Amino acid sequence: MQRVLALYESSLGKKVVVAITGLILYGFVLGHMVGNLKVFTGNDAAGEPHIDIYAHFLRTVGEPLVPYSFLLWIARIILIVALVLHVYTVIVLAKKNHSARKKDYARHSYSQASNTARWMMISGTLLLVFVVFHLAQFTFGTVGGAKFVEGKVYANLYFAFQRWFFAGLYILVMAGLALHVHHGVWSLFQTLGLDNPDRNRTFRLLATASSIGLFIGFAAVPILFYLGLMPLPPATESTQLADGVM
């Protein structure tokens, strides 16, 4: 532990923290995207959507060895700590970088710095604000209309994405995620000292493929719901539907 704290003292150590927390968050978004695909697999024999069953499973997994929601909360705590460390450390490093060149050049000209790399702070800030909004909408149900019912994941998604501004916002933010991942997933391997000319192509390909794959996987949900290509939630009365879309 002492050695980890000593590592964090240095700029290289801080970058390693950003890389490892970034790797954790990357793992989470991959898992989240794959989990979301359950939206497209329909209902079980009893008429309950697979995504609702999956959401329930995330809470009951590990029972009876561990209590209800235990493993979910472990994951949530790891993710919250990772996110806080990621953002805090980036702010500390950004301040250091800012004070390393107080007087900037009159003319800028980049040779090979990619736009995704230069926009990391913008895409990152967008994602941070979005995470708060996204939790408020689909976990706490405090924004996005009166139709929110906890546990009814499919119906909640269905009603939210009937509105163009929610669908549009989610698609836009997923583009931001794609930009962030495009640089971040390669950059973290470089920071951890794992990149070299032998592996460079593979890491860069992984970053690009992740960026495109995550965008398609995530954005498909709001796009298909908004276009009306997804079936109605089970047991929806026409009056409920009218309520839901306002």
Partner 1 sequence: MKLHLRIWRQDDSQSKGHFGEYDLENVREDMSFLEMLDVLNEQLIDSGQEPVAFDSDCREGVCGMCSLVINGKAHGPLAGTTTCQLYMRHYKDGDVITIEPWRSEAFPVIRDLIVDRTAFDRIMQAGGFVTLHSGPKPEPNSIPIEPEVAEQSLDAATCIGCGACVAACPNGSAMLYTAAKISHLGLLPQGQPERYSRVKQMVEQMDKEGFGSCRNYAECEAQCPKEISINFVSQMNRDYLKATLLEPVDRRSKMNAQ
Among 183, 210, 215, 222, binds partner 1 (CB under 8 A): 183
Task: Considering only the stretches 139-147, 148-156, 167-175, 189-197, report the one whose residues sit in contact with partner 1 under the rule CB under 8 A.
Answer: 189-197
Q: Is 183 exposed, middle or buried (0-12, 13-18, 19+ CB in 10 A)?
A: buried
Contact, 144 vs 160, CB < 8 A?
Answer: yes
Identify residues 98-157 at the interface with partner 1 (CB under 8 A): 99-114, 117-118, 120
Task: Considering only the stretches 41-49, 51-59, 90-98, 155-163, report the one whose residues sit in contact with partner 1 under the rule CB under 8 A.
Answer: 90-98
CA distance 163 to 158: 10
Task: Considering only the stretches 161-169, 187-195, 206-214, 229-237, report the one whose residues sit in contact with partner 1 under the rule CB under 8 A.
Answer: 187-195
Among 122, 192, 205, 216, binds partner 1 (CB under 8 A): 192
CA distance 88 to 85: 5
Give the HSE-up count for residue 160: Cα atoms under 13 Å, Cβ half-sphere: 25
Looking up tokens 């719901």 gives 225
| C-alpha 35 chain-centroid distance | 12
Query: Is residue 186 a contact point for partner 1 (CB under 8 A)?
Result: yes
At closest approach, how far in Å is the CB of 198 from partner 1? 10
Query: Is residue 201 a contact point for partner 1 (CB under 8 A)?
Result: no
Nearer to partner 1 by C-beta: 14 or 147? 14
Nearer to partner 1 by C-beta: 115 or 139? 115
Distance between terminal CA atoms of the chain?
54
Cβ within 8 Å of residue 62, ≥6 positions away: 70, 71
> Which residues sit at the interface with partner 1, rule CB under 8 A?
3-4, 6-7, 10-16, 93, 96-97, 99-114, 117-118, 120, 183, 186-187, 190-197
